Chains A and B, each alone.
Chain A
Amino acid sequence: MSNGTEAEYEVTHGRPQAFYENFDRKGELQHQTHYCPGCGHGIVHKMLAQAIDELGIQNRTILVSPVGCSVFAYYYFDVGNVQGAHGRAPAVATAVKRSHPQSIVVSYQGDGDLSAIGSAEILHAANRGENITVIFVNNAIYSMTGGQAAPTTLLGQVSTTTPAGRNAANEGYPLHVSELLATLEAPVYIERVGLGDNRQVAQAQRAVRRAVENQVRGLGFSLVEVLSPCPTIWKMSPVDAQHWVRDVMEKTFPLAVLRDRTKDVQPKAAPATGPALEEIPRILGVTDEGEAEPSDAQAKGGVDLQVRVAGFGGQGVLLLGEVLAEAGLHAGLEVSWLPSYGPEMRSGTSNCHVRLAREPIDSPLVAHPDVLVAMNEPSLHKFCASVRPGGWIFYNGETVPEECERKDVHILARPFMHVADELGDGRAGNMVILGALLEATATLPQASVDAALGQLVKSPRWLTLDERALARGRELLRESLQEVCHEG
C-alpha cells in the first residue's frame, strides 16, 4: 500500500499490537508468516493477539510454543516467549505461571502435540486446574511432519500412516480431548469452536478471548479447541478445506461449550509472599539456636566403636542406631549412621551401620563390628561371624544357636522384647538392648544418651518407657557380668 492511498482510508482492523511489525526472528520473508495459504493458524494467532490487545496484557503475556506447525509462534507474538519440547507445553506453562502468578500464560498447541505425545501433560495440567489458557488447534493430522495420522484423525481419513484410511480396528477412534477433559472437576472453561465459516470464526474469536480473560480474572484452567483447516496436507483448496471443517470434521467433533463454571468459581487467591530472607535459616532449623549446650558429658579418650544393628522391621532397629549416633554427636564424637535401605526394608528385615569415633570417619560401612545387635535369629546367623574378636553380641533370644556360638566374643542372649513387655511395651526392647550396649562399651556419658533420646522420642509416654528400658538394659548387663564372675 502506498503512502498516497493510506491517507484515504481509516484503518479499523489493523495489525494487533501483540504482533511484531516485522518478524525479525524469521530468517527470510519477514513480513509474512510461515503458514500455508488457508491454514487456520494465522486466523487463530490473530484472535489471540486481539484478545491480548483488548485485555491490555501484552507485557504480562508469556506464550509457550509447541512442536508442530506453530513451533515458530514466537516469530510473531511480541510477548514473552518460551518454546518447549513436543507435547510438554502444559508442563512448561504450569511452572512459568507458578513462577510468576501475575503473568498471563498461554499454551498454544496442535493436535499431535496435545492429544498424542502430550496427552499426560494436558490431562494433569487441566486436572490441577492450572490458571493457564490452552489454545488447542485441531486439524486432524500431523501437518509439520508431512501428514501422518494423529489421535484426532477421522475414521476413514487417509494419511501417510493410514494409507487405506483410519481403521478403528487398528488405530482406534478419534480422541475427543475436550470431552475427556470436561469430565474433570477442575477446568472452568472448555469450548470447541471451528473455522468452518464466518459465523464459526466469530464464535471462535469470542471463545479465545474468554479463555484468556478467565485467566486474567484468576478463574482457572481454560481450553479452546479450534477445528482448523489444513489445505496443504488435506490436499484441498483453502475454500474446500474450510468447508470440510464445517461439513465433515464437525460431525466427529461437535462444536459445543463443554464446560463453563466461570460464574461459579471464585478467583484464585494470590500466593502468600515468602518470609524475610533472615528468617529462612530458622525455618529450616539450621540455626545455632536451640543447640544443646556443649555439655561436660564429653566422651573420653580414643574412641572407635563400630556397631551393626539388625532385626525385623518394627523392632526399632533404625531408631536404636539413631539414638546411638545422636548421643555420640552430643558427646563430641564423629558419627555416621547408614541404613540398609534396600529390598530388605520392604520385605521385613532391617539393619543399620553405626560408627562413633574420635577421628573423622573414613568408611561408614561396618563390615566387622565391635558390637552386633541381633534382634532375631536370621540376623544373628547372617552377621555373627563378622564380629571382631573381643567384641560383643547382643541377641534377642533365650539361647544362642550352636552354630553361632563363639568363644572369642562376649555374648548376651536375653529375650529383650519380653523384658520390655514386663516394663509396659515389648516395642521398647530396642532400648533395653541399647542400655546393655551402653553399659558394656562404656563409651558415652548418660547425659548424652538422655539428650539424644529427648530429641528423637517426642511422646512423653514413650520417653519415660524408653528411659526405664535403658536402665533395665544396663542392669541386665551388670547382672550378666556378675554371673560370669560367679561362674569364674
Chain B
Amino acid sequence: MRRQLMKGNEAIVKSAILSGCRAFYGYPITPASEITEAAAQYLPQVGGVFLQAESEVAAINMLYGAASAGVRVMTASSGPGISLMQEGISYMAGAELPCVIADITRGGPGLGNIAAEQSDYHQVVKGGGHGNYHTLVLAPHSVQEMADLTALAFELADRYRNPVVVMADGFIGQMMEPVEFPQTATEPHLPKWAVAGTEESRGNLISSIYLEPDKLEAHVRQLEAKYYVAQQREARAEEWRTEGAEIVLVGYGIVARILKAVAAEAQAEGLKVGVLRPITLYPFPGLQFQKLAERARVFVVVEMSNGQMLEDVRLALNGVRPVEFLSRFGGNVPSHGEVLELVRKLARQTLPAPQPERESVAHV
C-alpha cells in the first residue's frame, strides 16, 4: 500500500472522512489549526459540512446539534479551546451523543505557550466538565496512529454513544511521517435515535435533563455501566521490549518515542529496561501495569506535565512497586540523555527484589 509523508494533523482529517465523518465545526488554535484547515478543504468535497464557529463554545454546541441529527462529527482544538468546550462535552456525555474531539496539546495554564506539553491530561481524562461522566481518550504516538486511532475513535464514539478524544501533543500533530490509509470509505449511517426531521424520527428527543433524582441516578448508573464495559474491552497499551524488564519506562505520545530510543540504548548496555505505553488513557490500561509489576522492580513515569498521568499509574500499581517520576514541561522535552541517566542510576541502585506475594497486586 502507498505510504505518504504527511503531518499528523492532516492524517486525522483524512482518516475521519474515510471513517464516515461528514461534519466539522471548529475554531483555529495553534498547534491544531491544520486539522481545521484540512477539514475546510476536504469536507465540502465529500458532501460534508465545514463551518468555522465563532468560538469553541459554539463549535462544541454545533457538534451537539450535528450529533443529535445523527451525523458523524468532529472538532479539533488545544488546551485553552478544550477548556471552553468542557460545557458541551459534559452535555454530550449526558445526552449520550457520539463525537470525536482532537486535542493537540500545548503549554498551560492560561495562555501558556504553543509548544508541546501534556498538561491537558487531567481536564481530558478526568472529565473537565461538570457531572459524573468520562470521555474515552486515545493517545497516538505516531502519524500512522493519528490515522488509525481516529478511525477507532469514531467506532468507539458510536459504540458507546459518548465523546471520544484523540489527544496528541503538538509534536505528533505537527510532525510528518509515512502513513497509509484504507482504500475504502465507511458509509455514513443514520442512527435510530437521531433527530432527523423525518416521520420515523419525530418521536426522538435528545436531552441531558433528568429532573427526578431517581431517574438521574439511574441514568448515571447506566453511564457508569457503559464505562465499566469500556474498561473491560477497550483498554489498550503497547508493551515494547518489556520481556524480562526490571525497569519499566512509562509514557505516551512523543514521550513514548523518546523512551523507546532510551530503552534501545539501555538494552544495548545490558540493562533490563522496557517501555509500557498507554494507548487508551481512559480507560486506563491498569491490568497491564499489574501484569508487568509481577517482574519489574520499578516503574519510571516520564511526562511533559507536572505528574498528571502519574496519578493513574500509582492507582494502577496500588503501591506494589515504587514509581519514579521525571517531568519536563513549558515546551521543554525530556531529553534522551536525562532519561538515560536516570535509567542508569536506577539500574545501579540496589533495588528490592520482586516480592513473591502476588496477592498484593490489586485486581479490578
Contact = CB atoms under 8 A, between A and B. Distances in A.
Interface of A: 25, 27, 58-62, 64-65, 71-72, 74, 78-85, 88, 91-96, 98-100, 102-105, 120-121, 123-124, 271-275, 277-278, 280-281, 283-288, 291, 322, 325-326, 329, 334-339, 341-343, 361-365, 367
Given A59-B199, A280-B185, A365-B333, A96 B69 contact: yes
A95 B66 contact: yes
28 contacts: A59-B199, A80-B197, A83-B95, A83-B208, A84-B65, A85-B87, A85-B88, A85-B91, A91-B53, A91-B65, A92-B68, A93-B65, A94-B51, A94-B65, A95-B49, A98-B66, A99-B49, A277-B185, A278-B185, A284-B18, A284-B42, A286-B18, A322-B176, A326-B5, A338-B174, A338-B175, A343-B114, A363-B260
Nearest to A277: B185
B70 A99 contact: yes
B238 interface: no
A72 B65 CA distance: 17
Given A78-B202, A94-B51, A99-B69, A84 B14 contact: no
A288 B61 contact: no
B196 A80 contact: yes
Contacts of B202: 58-59, 78-80
A337 B175 contact: yes
Which of B61, B203, B260 has the most CB atoms of chain A within a 10 A radius of its CB? B61
A59 to B, nearest CB: 4
A82 B196 contact: no
Interface stretch (B23-31, B157-165, B319-327): B23-31
B62 interface: yes
B206 A83 contact: yes
Interface string B61-79: 1111110111101000000
Chain B: number of interface residues, binned into ranges: 35 or more
Contact of A95 (B1, B69, B114, B180): B69
B3 interface: yes
B167 interface: no
A363 B258 contact: yes
Interface string B206-218: 1111011000000
Given A95-B23, A286-B4, A341-B30, A365 B258 contact: yes
Q: Which 8 pairs across A and B sit closest by C-beta, in order of nearness?
A: A274-B47, A103-B197, A95-B65, A99-B69, A92-B65, A88-B61, A83-B207, A91-B61
A25 B184 CA distance: 43
A334 to B, nearest CB: 7
Contacts of B31: 341
Contacts of B18: 280-281, 284, 286
B46 A280 contact: yes
Contacts of B22: 274
B225 interface: no
B336 A363 contact: yes
A286 B174 CA distance: 19
Nearest to A368: B336
B349 interface: no
B62 A95 contact: yes
Contact of B58 (A88, A100, A343): A88
Contacts, number: 240
A81 B206 contact: yes
B183 A288 contact: yes
A164 B294 CA distance: 70
Interface in B309-344: 331, 333, 335-337
Interface in B247-261: 254, 257-258, 260-261
A367 B337 CA distance: 9
Which of A62, A65, A281 has the most CB atoms of chain B within a 10 A radius of its CB? A62
A74 to B, nearest CB: 5
B181 A338 contact: no
A101 to B, nearest CB: 9
A124 B52 CA distance: 11
Contacts of A273: 47
Contact of A100 (B69, B116, B254, B336): B69
B330 to A, nearest CB: 10
Contacts of A367: 335-337
Contact of B54 (A92, A102, A120, A341): A120
B360 interface: no
Contact of A80 (B195, B208, B337): B195
B259 to A, nearest CB: 8
A358 to B, nearest CB: 14
Contacts of A85: 61, 64, 87-88, 91
Chain A at the B interface: mostly helix, strand, loop or mixed?
mixed
Given A88-B88, A92-B68, A335-B177, A288 B336 contact: no
A82 B61 contact: no
A282 B43 CA distance: 13
B48 interface: yes
Contact of B14 (A102, A277, A286, A343): A286
B355 interface: no
Contacts of B59: 91
Contact of B113 (A88, A286, A343): A343
A293 to B, nearest CB: 12
Interface string B289-302: 00000000000000
B350 interface: no
Nearest to B176: A337
A337 B54 contact: no
B2 interface: yes
Interface string B134-159: 00000000000000000000000000
Contacts of A61: 197
A286 B147 CA distance: 12
Given A82-B206, A92-B61, A335-B177, A100 B47 contact: no
Given A99-B65, A335-B178, 15 more contacts: A25-B205, A80-B198, A94-B51, A95-B63, A95-B64, A96-B66, A100-B69, A105-B197, A120-B58, A281-B182, A288-B2, A338-B176, A339-B174, A362-B261, A365-B258
A104 B115 CA distance: 44
B88 A99 contact: no
A77 B94 CA distance: 22
A202 to B, nearest CB: 29
Contacts of A334: 178
Contacts of A329: 3, 5, 178
B357 interface: no
B187 interface: yes
B195 A96 contact: yes
Given A280-B185, A326-B5, A364 B177 contact: yes
Contacts of A80: 195-198, 201-202, 204
B306 interface: no
Contacts of B254: 364-365
B64 A88 contact: yes
A287 B2 contact: yes
Contact of B175 (A88, A103, A339, A342): A339
A78 B202 CA distance: 7
Contact of A335 (B5, B61, B113): B5
A342 B330 CA distance: 11
